[in-house]
A = this chain, B = another copy of it.
Amino acid sequence: MIAFDYCTPTEYVFGPDTETRAGELSKEKLGNRLLIVYGGGSAERSGLLGRVRRSLTDAGIQFKELGGVKPNPTDDLVYQGIELCRREDLNAVLAVGGGSAIDTAKAIAGGVPYEGDFWDFWAGKAVMDKALPVGVILTIAAAGSEGSGNSVITKIDGEIKISLRTNVLRPKFAIMNPKLTETLPEYQTACGITDMMAHIMERYFSNTPDCEVTDRLCEGLLTAIINEAPKVMADPENYQARANIMWAGTLAHNGICGCGRQEEWTCHAMEHEISALYGVAHGAGLAVVFPAWMEYVSQYNSDKIIQFGRRIFGVDSAPEAIAELRRFYSSIGMPLTMKELGISSPDIELMNTKLHRAKGAVIGNYVPLDGTATAKIYELMSLS
């Protein structure tokens, strides 16, 4: 274990009907003038937004709204939100949705008190030291953004997708009603499961020795997700399985799985290039990237991949571990190749160039990878 500093102050309010506490929690932890950020029409159609508006109004909170957040959220809406907050003198942001709505809300929250371009933080040109408070009403179990300090935004100009991580952006509260996820399309549910597993695996595949506690937590969470996933896929209205998946998604990314160890994040970086360029669902992209990465790196460093196979799937070799992971992804309807992802001729050179332009000549810790290596991994994904 290496030294760490860990603080996850988000209040998780978990259970049925918890969205009715939006007003009370916002009043206590956010402020009295909110911007509500949400995605498409489903939050409106389901009546969720109505319940949230009512709860806020009952608590005497004023608010404006910014809808239309899309998957792989882009900077344009962030600029709109910042402008709206400034114009209307709003002092907090409430996200209603999944990772895209939350990440947009966070970016707006970080941008409002900053005089420069909010993108400076994502581009590494400035360090965020304050932000408007953010609250969350979660509707998708996937990104873990409800409990993390992360925000992934894509800059339209240049199709650059970057993840920022700062404790400043950790939400003040996250309202988590598993029932709200019961109406998610099957594919999106599976993408969420893949995404949360990847958040754990990016922390698990580490060379830091003597991380028994964190290893066991990661393995326990992965096992739980793998056990619960078939239940939600078979019966989307299985509240208990939805609840387990939702809570796992938060713990996968609120930092508890990374305490005391060097983290990895190569697969996320590689996937970000795919989704930035082709607009695929992030989780689906990860199902393609992760096994290919494991296949490549296990040639050089297989210890942790063998441990993963043994403890999660009860198999004894790296190739079997990878095969089991692919079998699992496939069982929940996830793609395993670029082709299955809907990309028939991926522009590997462009993705690879952008990847190393963003991340440097060599990326990763578990096995450091240069451009030749990552190109090979992209090629592995392109084999049918």
Q: List the interface of chain A (C-beta within 8 A of B).
A: 1-16, 18, 209-217, 219-221, 223-224, 227-228, 240-241, 243-244, 247-248, 251, 256, 259-260
**Distance from A77 Cβ to chain B, minimum over Cβ atoms (Å):** 30
* Interchain CB contact under 8 A, B3 and A18: yes
A228 touches B240 (CB 8 A): no
CA distance A344 to B49 in the complex (A): 66
**Interfacial chain B residues near A1, Cβ < 8 Å:** 14, 240, 243-244, 247
A243 touches B210 (CB 8 A): yes
Q: Closest CB-CB distance, A138 to chain B, in whole Å? A: 14
- The verdict on A243 contacting B260 (CB below 8 Å), with A3-B14, A10-B7, A15-B3 known, is yes
Complex: A221 Cα to B257 Cα, angstroms: 12
Q: Which residue of B lies closest to A8 (CB)?
A: B8
Asked if A224 and B213 make an inter-chain contact with CB atoms under 8 angstroms apart, the answer reads: yes
Chain B residues, CB < 8 A from A227: 212
Residue on B with the closest CB to A249? Answer: B213
Q: Knowing A224-B216, A260-B243, say if A11 contacts B6 (CB, 8 Å).
A: yes
Determine how many copies of this chain the complex contains: 2
**Distance in Å from the Cβ of A1 to the closest Cβ of chain B?**
4
Distance (whole angstroms) from the CB of A27 to the closest CB of chain B? 16
13 contacts between A and B (CB under 8 A): A1-B240, A1-B247, A5-B11, A6-B11, A6-B12, A6-B14, A210-B240, A211-B244, A213-B221, A213-B224, A213-B248, A213-B251, A216-B221
User: Hey, which chain B residues are within 8 Å of A8, CB to CB?
Assistant: 8-9
Cβ–Cβ contact B4 & A12, under 8 A: yes
A240 to B211, CA, bound (A): 8
Question: 12 new A-B pairs (CB below 8 Å) besides A6-B12, A12-B259, A211-B244?
Answer: A1-B244, A3-B14, A3-B15, A5-B12, A6-B14, A9-B9, A14-B259, A210-B243, A210-B244, A213-B248, A214-B247, A217-B220
Whether B216 and A14, one on each chain, are in contact in the complex, defined by CB atoms closer than 8 angstroms, is no
A259 cross-chain contacts in B, Cβ below 8 A? 12, 14, 247
A12 contacts which chain B residues (CB < 8 A)? 4-7, 259
Cα–Cα, bound, A104→B130 (Å): 35
Bound Cα distance A248, B1 (Å): 12
Which residues on B sit within 8 Å (CB–CB) of A11? 5-7
A241 closest partner in B (C-beta): B210
Q: Does the CB pair A212–B244 fall under 8 Å?
A: yes
Q: Which residues of B have CB within 8 Å of A4?
A: 12, 14-15
Q: Which chain B positions have C-beta within 8 A of A223?
A: 216
Which residues of B are found within 8 Å of A3, using beta-carbon distances?
A: 14-16, 18
Cβ-defined partner of A216 (8 Å) among B9, B16, B220, B260: B220
Bound-state CA distance A10–B256 (Å) is: 13
Q: How far is the CA of A142 from the CA of B212 in the complex (A)?
A: 18
Find A15's partner among B2, B15, B18, B240 (CB 8 Å cutoff). Answer: B2
5 tightest Cβ-Cβ pairs between the two chains A and B:
A3-B15, A216-B220, A220-B220, A210-B240, A7-B11
Assembled-state Cα–Cα distance A224/B13 (Å): 29
A11 to B123, CA, bound (A): 28
Q: A219 to chain B: which residues have CB within 8 Å?
A: 220
